[in-house]
Chain A
Amino acid sequence: QMQLVESGGGVVQPGRSLRLSCAASGFTFSTYAMCWVRQAPGKGLEWVAFISYDGTNEYYADSVKGRFTISRDNSKNTLYLDMNSLRAEDTAVYYCARDTGVGAAVGWFDPWGQGTLVTVSS
């Protein structure tokens, strides 16, 4: 079955960096766009970043633009999120999710991973 498993979360000091990974299985990873969505504790969902199936197009939320970079390695079926200059307000559970469109993205997502918690604190 389709599965997404995030890893790399943890506690990090403000201003430091962290890399999240999302391992995909059960589908042809290289044919689907992917995204990262986060959820601050007790809050709603916030879309963070998107990458096309082949990595040629990326989009970011204004709140992370210039600090976060989404990337993928289709040979390893893995999605990444490099987070730099982390702030307290980046504290959240980070989910990776698959766009449901094959090839061309449609902008809605299924399935989602179980999430990984990032805590930015001194």
Chain B
Amino acid sequence: EIVMTQSPATLSVSPGERATLSCRASQSVSSNLVWYHQKPGQAPRLLIYGASTRATGVPARFSGSGSGTEFTLTISSLQSEDFAVYYCQQCKTWPLTFGGGTKVEIK
């Protein structure tokens, strides 16, 4: 099983600032990496697939990068609606696995 590790667990950021979230895979997943975010009481929503392609309707302030084992999600200027928990997921092999999540909170 591929283990996905996200860091930090919690990120405190002021509105308008940049946020950088990390995701590491225990073995290479190539570019088979996706990002979701989840607001309290809501279902997860797809943000990024293929490590760097924004899903339909996702604002340009969200960008993904990386390949192999190291990945980054960057939010260039945090808006109020971006404070949420972010999860990465590998879709390279079964079983599909998620990272533990990074909570982005208001500083």
Contacts and interface: CB of A to CB of B under 8 A. Distances in A.
Interface residues of B, number: 24
Given A100-B49, A113-B43, A108 B98 contact: no
Contact of B97 (A47, A59, A111, A112): A47
A34 B1 CA distance: 21
A115 B42 CA distance: 9
Interface of A: prevailing SS = strand
A3 to B, nearest CB: 11
Interface string B36-53: 101000111110010000
Interface in A72-102: 95, 100
B101 to A, nearest CB: 5
A92 to B, nearest CB: 13
B72 interface: no
Nearest to A61: B95
B32 to A, nearest CB: 7
Contact of B99 (A44, A60, A110, A115): A44
27 contacts: A35-B96, A44-B98, A44-B99, A44-B100, A45-B44, A45-B89, A45-B101, A47-B95, A47-B98, A50-B96, A60-B95, A62-B1, A95-B43, A100-B49, A107-B32, A107-B92, A107-B96, A108-B46, A108-B89, A108-B91, A111-B45, A112-B43, A112-B44, A113-B43, A114-B42, A114-B43, A115-B43
